Amino acid sequence: MEKTIYYHDTDAGGVVYYANYLKYLEEARTLFMNEKGISVKELHQEGFMYAVRKCSITYRQPARYGDVIECRTGLIKLTAAQIFFDQKIFDKKSGDLLIEAEVVLVSLDKDFKASPIPDPIRDRLSKT
């Protein structure tokens, strides 16, 4: 996923505000799921939700106003109810690594209880 950094993404120092990277990671994960044929909206309508259980980020370099970044998402592993993602954000022009993140989602039912990942979702995520 590519994204241009706008003024509203930055802080007083002219660099991307650290919490905004969480939004970029979310957008990239949603796109990853869509590319696997998984609609997060449809899952929610069927009573399944996926919440962030853990997020570990290493900030290497800042992105700045006007930069174009590239967000890459990969699947590390699946457990009964969790999805582990490896995510990286790069500066498109220089190729420099800006952010590294491991994000863990947990599958929840309509009562917000941990729930096994449905087999159709597991199958789609497992396809390369």
Per-residue model confidence as pLDDT tens digits over 17-32? 999 999 999 999 999 9
Q: Encoding tokens for residue 104?
A: 């863990």
Return the CATH number at 74.
3.10.129.10
Residues 82, 104 contacting (CB under 8 angstroms):
yes
50 part of a folded domain = yes
Query: Looking at residue 46, what is its pLDDT?
Result: 80
- Residues 107 and 116: their CA atoms lie apart, in Å, by 6
Specify the 3-state DSSP secondary structure of 44: helix
The Cα angle at residue 64 between residues 61 and 69, in degrees rounded to 5: 75
Number of residues that this document lists for the chain: 128
| Res 58 pLDDT > 90 | yes
Residue 57 lies in a domain: yes
Among candidate residues 9, 11, 111, 119, the one labeled active-site is: 11
120: in domain:
no
Say yes or no to pLDDT of 128 above 80. Answer: no
Q: Is residue 128 part of a domain?
A: no
Domain count, the chain: 1
- Name the residue with tokens 């660099």: 15
For the question of residue 67 being annotated catalytic, the response is: no
Task: Tell me which residue range forms the domain holding 100.
Answer: 2-115
- Is 127 among the domain residues? no
**The pLDDT value given to residue 21:** 98
